Amino acid sequence: MPNADPYLLAMTALLAALGVTIIYRLNPDDAFRQSLWIVLGVALFALTLLALRRDYRVLEQYKYLFGLGAVTLLALPALPVVGQTINGARLWVRIGSFQFQPGELAKILLIIFLAGYLREKREVLAQGRIKDFGPLFLIWGAAMVVLVQTNDLGSALLHFGIFLAMLYVATGRALFAAAGLALFVAGAAAVYHYVDHVQQRVTIWRQPWTEDPVFCAQTGELALRQECGSYQLVRSLYSVANGGFGGTGLGRGTFTGTNGAELIPFLKTDFIYSAIAQELGLIGAAGLLLVFMLFVVRGMRVALMADDGFSKLLAAGLTFGFALQTFIIVGGVLRVIPLTGITLPFVSYGGSSVIANFILLALLMLVSNRASAFR
C-alpha cells in the first residue's frame, strides 16, 4: 500500500494502544484477551488488503450478497438457539464457547451494499421516484426491524445515520436527508410510545437525578432515580467529573468501592470513555477525541480524492459510520443523547468490534491507496 494515507494506520495504532492500556489498568486478563483480538484484527486487516490488492471494486459486483449478508448477520442474535440476551439487548451469537456480536460486521457489509447500490442508482434516485427506492427500503427496513426487535437502539441509530449520510452523498439532495430525519423522528416517537425499554432510556437521559423517590422498575420499589435506573449514567458522569482538567493519572482513578466492588458496570466496553476521562482528565479525553476527529478528516479526504462513485461512497460511508459510532457512545456517556450501549471504535474491549474496525480500516486504506496512485 505505498500510496495509502499515512496517518490512518498510525492513528488506529494510537487508539488501540490507549484502549489496551486502559483495559490493562482495569483488568490485566482482559487486556491480554484484547491484545489477542487486536492481533487477529491486524491479521484480518492484512488479509483484506492482500485479497483485494488488485481492485477492491470487485466488491461492487456482490453488493446484493453483502446486503443479504448484513441482514442475516443482524438477524442471527434473534434466532432461538444461538442468540443470547446480554444487558437487555439481544446482540450476541453463541456457538459453543465462542460468542460474538455480528452487528459490528453487519455495519461494514451494509456500507458496502449501500455504496454499490447507491452508485448504480444515484441518478434515478436523484429524480425522487418512489419505485427506485424499493430494494433500498427493503434491505434497510429489514435491518431496522431486526434491530428494534433485538432492542439494539445504538446500532439502529448508527445504521440509520449511515444510510441517510450515504443517500445524501449519492444524490446530493439535502431534502432526502431531511425527509429521512423526519421519518426517523416520527418512527422514534412511535417506538417511544410502545417500547418501555426506549421510554426508560429517554427518561433517564432527561432526568438522571430526582429529588424524590420514583418507581424503580428493576426492584419494583420506590427509589431515587440516580440509585436505580440511571445509576450507570450518573456514576459515569461522576467518574468524568472526578477527572477534572488534568485527570487523576493512570492507575489512580476510582472505579471500585472501598470493598473492591466495581462502581461502574460495563466500564471496559460501553463506559471506557468515562474511565479515560477520569484518569487522563480533560487534556487526555480531548486529545483522544482529537485523534478521532483527525481520523474522520483523513477518511473524508480519502472520499474526496477517490475518482469513482463507489469508492467515494464507500470511504464516506465507512468514515461517517466511524464518526457516528463514536458520537453515539461518547455522547451517550456524556448525556448529550440518550445512552445506548455500543463500542468505542478500537478503544473498547471486545473482539467483534476490534476485528470489524480493522476491516473498516483496511477498506479505507485500499480506497486511499488507489485514489493517490491514480492522481
Partner 1 sequence: MNRAISRLAVTGTALMVVLVVATTYWQAWAAGGLNDRQDNQIQRVAQFTIERGWIIGRNPRTPLARNAPRKVGGRTLYFRRYPAGGLVAHVVGYSTQSRARAGLERSRNDYLTAANRNLSTVVGKTLDELRGATIEGNDLMLTLHLRAQAVAMRALGGRCGSVVALEPSTGKVLVMASSPTFDQNVIERDFSAIDRIQAPCRPVAPLYNRATYGLYAPGSIFKVVTAAAAIDSGRYKADSRFNDPGYCEVYGRRVNNYDTTSPFGDVDLREALQYSINSVFCNIGKELGALTIIEYMKRFGFYSTPPLETPDNERAPSGLYQRNRLFDPDVESDVDAGRFAFGQERLLVTPLQMAMVAGAIANQGMVMEPYVVDRILSPSGGIIQRTRPDDLGRAVKPETAATVAGMMRLAVESGTGTAARLPGFVVSGKTGTAETGVAGTNNAWFISFAGRAGQRPKVAIAVVLEQQNGTGGQLAAPIARDVLQALLGGTANS
Of 335, 343, 349, 368, which lies in the binding site for partner 1, with binding defined by CB under 8 A?
Answer: 335
| Nearest one of 57, 181, 176 to 115, comparing CA atoms | 57
- DSSP letter, residue 231: H
21 binds partner 1 (CB under 8 A): no
**CB contact set of 149 (below 8 Å; sequence gap of 6+):** 78, 90
Of 316, 318, 360, 366, which lies in the binding site for partner 1, with binding defined by CB under 8 A?
Answer: 316
| Nearest one of 318, 370, 324, 294 to 10, comparing CA atoms | 294
Site string for partner 1, 172-211 (x = CB under 8 A): x---------------------------------------
Site string for partner 1, 291-310 (x = CB under 8 A): -xx--xx--xx-xx----x-
As a whole number of angstroms, the distance between CA 15 and CA 44 comes to 18
Of 61, 97, 127, 258, which lies in the binding site for partner 1, with binding defined by CB under 8 A?
Answer: 258
Classify strands 214-216 and 221-223 as parallel, antiparallel or unpaired. antiparallel
260 binds partner 1 (CB under 8 A): yes
Q: Tally helices (H) and strands (E) across the chain.
A: 12, 5
Q: Closer CB to partner 1, residue 33 or residue 122?
A: 122
Of 18, 110, 170, 198, which lies in the binding site for partner 1, with binding defined by CB under 8 A?
Answer: 170
* Binding segment (CB under 8 A) for partner 1, from list 10-18, 49-57, 101-109, 274-282: 274-282
Of 323, 347, 367, 371, which lies in the binding site for partner 1, with binding defined by CB under 8 A?
Answer: 323
**CB contact set of 111 (below 8 Å; sequence gap of 6+):** 162, 166, 314, 317, 318, 321
Of 312, 338, 359, 368, which lies in the binding site for partner 1, with binding defined by CB under 8 A?
Answer: 312
| Nearest one of 276, 272, 353, 372 to 315, comparing CA atoms | 372
As a whole number of angstroms, the distance between CA 106 and CA 120 comes to 21
153 binds partner 1 (CB under 8 A): no
As a whole number of angstroms, the distance between CA 57 and CA 61 comes to 8
Q: Closer CB to partner 1, residue 97 or residue 258?
A: 258
Least distance to partner 1 from the beta carbon of 2, Å? 24
For 298, list phi and psi in degrees, rounded to 5: -65, -40
Handedness of CA 168, 317, 93, 274 (dihedral sign): negative
Is residue 309 within 8 A of residue 122, CB to CB? The reply is yes
Of 48, 326, 343, 368, which lies in the binding site for partner 1, with binding defined by CB under 8 A?
Answer: 326
As a whole number of angstroms, the distance between CA 102 and CA 74 comes to 6
Q: Closer CB to partner 1, residue 332 or residue 341?
A: 332
Is residue 369 within 8 A of residue 3, CB to CB? The reply is yes
Least distance to partner 1 from the beta carbon of 347, Å? 13
Residues forming a β-bridge with 98: 95
Residues 86-145 that bind partner 1 (CB under 8 A): none
At position 202, the amino acid (one-letter code) is: V
Tell me, by CB under 8 A, how many residues bind partner 1.
61
Site string for partner 1, 213-252 (x = CB under 8 A): -----------x-xx------xx-xxxxxxxxxx-xx-xx
Least distance to partner 1 from the beta carbon of 98, Å? 30
Interface residues toward partner 1, by CB under 8 A? 165, 168-170, 172, 224, 226-227, 234-235, 237-246, 248-249, 251-252, 254, 256-260, 263, 277-278, 281-282, 285-286, 289-290, 292-293, 296-297, 300-301, 303-304, 309, 312, 316, 319-320, 323-324, 326-327, 330-331, 334-336
